[in-house]
Amino acid sequence: MAENSQNRRYPPNLQGVLRLAVEAASAAEGPAPLEPMSEERKTWLREALAEVCKGQMDEVEQMKRCLAILLKEEVSKSEREGEEERDDEEDEDERESALETLSEFCENLDNARDLMTLGGLELCLSQYLFHVQSGLRWRAAQVIASCAQNMPQVQVYLLSIGALPKLLQLTDSDPNPTVRVKALYAASCLVREQEVGLQAFLSLDGFSVLMRGMQSENEKLSTKSAFLLLNLLTSHPEQKDTVVSMGMVQQLVSVLRTPHSSFHEQVLGALCCLVEDCPQALKDCMTPSLGLEELLKQRARELHGKEESQSSWMFSIVLSCYDSCCPYLAFVGWCLCFKPGDSQLWRRVILSAQDMATSCSSLLRIGVIGYGHLGQYLVERILKDGAAFGLTLAFVWNRNVDKIKGLLPDELILGDLSCFADRRCDVIVEVCHPQIVKEFGLHFLSQCHFMVGSPSALSDPDLNERLRQAAQQYGRTLYIPSGALWGGQDIQRLNDSGTLKALFIRMSKHPSCFRLTGDVLSDWAEGEGRRVLFRGSVAELCPLAPNNVNTMAAAAVAAGALGFTGVQGEIVSDTALSDYHVVEVEVTGLNGFSAHTVRRNPARLGAVTGSATYNSFWNSLLACKGHGGRVYLC
């Protein structure tokens, strides 16, 4: 087979080289024997490699021919006086074709460098960028853009020969819309990710050029101007103060007052970017005379039901955001209307909204520990409605961090719980597991208020006492949510008055809703009916069902005089309870006083938490405003 390959002839071009390489690689499983290359093979290989290189050489030659065509105009002016000139239209077409060819070739970085060396860029800049024919002007700008993009060497050269001020001048004032668009594109290639270009752009008042571009009736120019503004503010946040001092916020809002256009998305993005970490921009946005709130409400009404609104729920985001303290949140919501699936936009919008909301009023920063059903509910409520209630999300921690990646912005995810203090929380909410309370409860109280969503952890008398002492020592409140407990405040008042004598709680659920330690329910069967699983003190019950008896634990906290050992509890498995949980509370006081309540809490099969408990936890969180160094039932 080696002999056949040696004698086979291949076409002397790139295709032949590829065929040779493929066949050589698949000719044998083991290493090919080393054989001297025949003279015929050497000749063929030299021809093939020459053919490969010829393409690049041909392109350089073609670029030289294009430059010769572009130079003819100057020759005609100086040497053809008195002669009959060629047809102007034919001559213009030839030069336009030459510029288009150069632009196409210079997509290749090597060709871009070669054109610079041949003097082609200087020719475009000096003779064609301000040519009387608009078709030649915009094609010259296109050549400059093709050469400059992603080519620092060419960018520096163009900046050194004064390309940027000429491009900005064309962007700002050329009568032809295509020239303006192409000139801005070329300017952006000299400014983005190019520090020298950015400084030149600033010295030439480039942001004002972009502002006027956004106000243009040319939609392409408006879109590209807004996009470049957003790009520069994102990559160079240190320029925000400069831009804001120019009145950029007011100018952007004036752009939004124009008839609705798709480029308004970029304008909103620029506003969003400006407000982030820029107090003056925030203040400007909130100026009543600017009328931003009414503008956005009006625009939402105008677009409602139209194709660009995408769906009605997007406008509910806008209007619900306006119920909060910050009008900025409304245009944040509107911004999301355009790209609801853009994770980068979500991240920027959420963080900017939080920064602004925090500046608008003293919002409580909430850390949520646990992202099960209840944790997810609280997180979503804080993100959606938190600002209206004075809350903002500081972080979310979950034992399995992979569960929340992609669901929340990375900036809101806390990977190491021991670093919680870095997030400067006002309240930490635990809705995870009693073990978290045992391991971190004291640390949390040393930094902020602590809402214990797993109060069964307090059945440990030593931990209970240490947490109470920490709350008193640091002046923080240890909050215990009522959860599914009905009448918790009344129980606490009886306890505080010294008239509470006994407390009994029975919790009945479908067996699939229990999460018990051991194998107490391992043998349950559908249709078996009612079975008492345990009856005794809540202190004994908590270790058996740590995830199911938080209501009883909350009651034991409310009945502090009785405590976990004095409060009695019972858990009942009942296969008939397929739609709800039942919580019964029996209170006994002095002089024959008694109260008996029954609460039916709707719940799905297998659900540990009843549906009404979710809203109860939310209301408990809203009460966490600081109640001094003590335990507080909320």
pLDDT band of 1, cuts 50, 70, 90:
very low
> CA triplet 328, 331, 335: central angle to 5 degrees?
135
Joined together, the tokens standing for residue 547 give: 């995830």
* 407 and 329 within one domain: no
Domain finish residue from 338, 361, 384: 361
Report the C-alpha gap between 172 and 186 in whole angstroms.
13
Whether 148 maps to a domain, the answer reads no
Whether 65 maps to a domain, the answer reads no
Q: What pLDDT, on a 0 to 100 scale, did the predictor assign at position 20?
A: 60
DSSP 286-354: T-GGG-HHHHHHHHHHHHTTSGGG--HHHHHHHHHHTTSS-THHHHHHHHHHH-TT-HHHHHHHHHHHH
* 373 and 348 within one domain: no
Q: What is the CA radius of gyration of the chain?
A: 37
Domain finish residue from 480, 501, 516: 480
Whether 456 maps to a domain, the answer reads yes
pLDDT at 451 over 70: yes
Joined together, the tokens standing for residue 320 give: 């619900």
Q: For 230-246, what is the mean pLDDT? A: 87
What average pLDDT does the chain have? 80
* 248 and 341 within one domain: yes
pLDDT at 174 over 90: yes
Q: What pLDDT, on a 0 to 100 scale, did the predictor assign at position 312?
A: 33
- Tell me the one-letter amino acid at 13: N
pLDDT at 86 over 60: no
pLDDT at 9 over 70: no
Whether 409 maps to a domain, the answer reads yes
Whether 60 maps to a domain, the answer reads no
* 288 and 253 within one domain: yes
Cα 439 to Cα 266, 374, 418: the distances in Å are: 47, 21, 10
Q: What pLDDT, on a 0 to 100 scale, did the predictor assign at position 170?
A: 94
Report the C-alpha gap between 154 and 283 in whole angstroms.
42
What residue numbers bound the domain in which 356 lies?
A: 205-361
Q: For 240-248, what is the mean pLDDT? A: 87
Could you write out the three-class secondary structure of 476-491? CCEEECCCCCCCHHHH
| Spatial contact of 504 and 615, defined as CB atoms under 8 Å apart | no
Whether 452 maps to a domain, the answer reads yes
pLDDT at 288 over 90: no
pLDDT: which is higher, 55 or 132 = 132
Percentage of residues of the chain with pLDDT beyond 70: 79
pLDDT: which is higher, 569 or 25 = 569
Q: For 559-574, what is the mean pLDDT? A: 90
* 582 and 512 within one domain: yes
**HSE-up of 437 (CA within 13 Å, CB side)?**
29
Task: Tell me phi and psi for residue 584, to 5 degrees.
Answer: -110, 135
CATH number where 213 lies: 1.25.10.10
* 563 and 531 within one domain: yes
pLDDT band of 15, cuts 50, 70, 90:
low
Report the C-alpha gap between 214 and 264 in whole angstroms.
9
pLDDT at 347 over 60: no
pLDDT band of 316, cuts 50, 70, 90:
very low
Whether 91 maps to a domain, the answer reads no
* 317 and 458 within one domain: no
pLDDT at 345 over 50: no
- Counting the structural domains of the chain, the total is 3
Least trusted range by pLDDT, from 57-61, 110-114, 371-375, 575-579: 57-61
Q: What pLDDT, on a 0 to 100 scale, did the predictor assign at position 84?
A: 47
Percentage of residues of the chain with pLDDT beyond 90: 27
Q: Which of 208, 111, 207, 124 has the alpha carbon at shortest distance from 158?
A: 124
* 538 and 424 within one domain: no
Q: Which residues is 586 bridged to in the sheet?
A: 504, 596
Domain finish residue from 361, 387, 416: 361
Residue with tokens 């938190």: 386
Q: What pLDDT, on a 0 to 100 scale, did the predictor assign at position 255?
A: 85
Least trusted range by pLDDT, from 2-6, 58-62, 434-438: 2-6
Whether 10 maps to a domain, the answer reads no
* 393 and 336 within one domain: no
CATH number where 586 lies: 3.30.360.10
Consecutive H or E run containing 537: strand 530-537
Q: What pLDDT, on a 0 to 100 scale, did the predictor assign at position 334?
A: 43
Reported residue count of the chain is: 634
Question: Quick one: 4 exposed, middle or buried, by C-beta within 10 A (0-12, 13-18, 19+)?
Answer: exposed
pLDDT band of 321, cuts 50, 70, 90:
very low
Q: What is the pTM of this model?
A: 0.47
Convert 39-72 to b/e letters by CB count within 10 Å (16 or more is b): eebeebbeebeebeeeeeeebbeebeebbeebee
* 510 and 373 within one domain: no
Residue 606 φ/ψ region, left for φ over 0, alpha for ψ in the -120 to 50 degree band, beta for the rest: left
* 429 and 302 within one domain: no
* 354 and 280 within one domain: yes
Report the C-alpha gap between 147 and 338 in whole angstroms.
33
Residue 267 has a CB neighbour count (10 Å cut-off) of 26
**HSE-up of 104 (CA within 13 Å, CB side)?**
10
